[in-house]
Amino acid sequence: MGKKMDVVKKFWAKVERRSDNECWPWKGSFDKDGYGQIWDGNIGKMLRSHRLSAQIHHGEITGIVCHSCDNPSCCNPAHLFYGTSADNVADKIAKERQARGEKQGHSKLTEEQVAEIRKRADESYKTLTDEFNICPSTVYRIWNGDAWKHSHSRAR
């Protein structure tokens, strides 16, 4: 139990505790994803600070630890809840935090190009596929609102 208390003491030394409704920022080191991290010598590995906070305050971790505040450095137990990956994705979608369109990294098109394709709905697929270097099904999906749903302007 002594070693477990050591990591808890280290945890509290690196948390800026504020009011119950505010985020409690982590003041230690961070991992590549922006989550606080702390070394637990008892088990010989790094732990994410928000997961340790959830375990301290909510008991054994069941699933993943999600942030209602969407702040990866927050350790406030009132902002943390246990869920599944599906819960986390649903939360992200509900809050419109997922990358879409040109921001998601795999898109060949920009928002402006999609708007242009929608404006030119009277042209042939061949003209647009050649000009934008995309396949006909992409043009079809853009015209019909099946692709780039988040873009607001629709030609049809």
Its domain, for residue 109, covers 101-143
Same domain as 82, residue 24: yes
Angle formed at CA 47 by CA 104 and CA 8, multiple of 5 degrees: 140
Angle formed at CA 114 by CA 108 and CA 117, multiple of 5 degrees: 115
Pick from 100, 24, 117, 109: nearest CA to 69: 24
Our measurement of the distance from residue 102's CA atom to the centroid of its chain's CA atoms, rounded to an integer in Å, reads 16
Residue 139 lies in a domain: yes
Residue 27 lies in a domain: yes
Same domain as 110, residue 49: no
How high is the pLDDT of residue 121? 87
Same domain as 82, residue 14: yes
Same domain as 126, residue 67: no
Domain count, the chain: 2
How high is the pLDDT of residue 30? 95
What are the tokens at 101?
Answer: 């369109």
Beta-carbon contacts of 136 under 8 Å, excluding residues fewer than 6 positions away, are 125, 126, 129
Same domain as 12, residue 88: yes
CATH assignment of the domain containing 16: 3.90.75
Q: Can you name the residues that pair with 66 across neighbouring β-strands?
A: 81
How high is the pLDDT of residue 75? 97
pLDDT, tens digit only, all 156 positions of the chain:
455 668 999 999 999 999 999 999 999 999 998 999 999 988 899 999 999 999 999 999 988 999 999 899 999 999 999 999 998 888 877 876 765 555 554 677 888 888 888 888 888 888 888 888 888 888 888 888 777 766 654 444
